[in-house]
Structure 1
Amino acid sequence: MAGGWAKDGAEQAQIDDTVEDALQRVRSEIPTGESLVDCEECGEPIPEARRRAVPGVRLCVACQAERDEAQETVSPYNRRGSKDSQLR
């Protein structure tokens, strides 16, 4: 049951867009390339086990935890699909 200017059945398209946006965001955050030996923020050594477990890792566990906490929360709602939602 779509409302506003959305077509009937548009809910699934909105859900699909929300899931795809979340996947793109997560994929863009995956490290790539060769892992660093020392953390690029604090300079502490990155343990060998972490470098093997996360290819392309650039931060130590402590700095990564700080970055994860500071990262802005992304809204789970996709507001692109409905003009009605833009009016709220």
Structure 2
Amino acid sequence: MSSVIHLRAFMDLADTFRKKNWSNPKEVEVQGEITGLELLALLGLPEEMVEVIFVNGKAFTPPLAVLTGGDRVALAPPGVPGPYRVLLGFKKMEG
């Protein structure tokens, strides 16, 4: 069964979305449950471009993120400045 996730991109990844003429947020159709790495492959984004995937406000490394339709998802690249790392929950990140 397919459904849609609502995907946002931050910092350099937002530039990548613009270059690809993608909206931000972008609706992405997924089949059932997928991992963060499967999402990146679906989007054609290299894993090294994404440090954190937020799923419904909780931070995960790409291999540990699990997504299903209806989720609110955000991608953050490596290099997010220190204070923002704390505010966004990188310090409490799963994995």
- Give the TM-score normalised by structure 2: 0.18
Q: Greater strand share, 1 or 2?
A: 2
Q: TM-score if structure 1 supplies the norm length?
A: 0.19
* Between structures 1 and 2, the one with greater helix share: 1
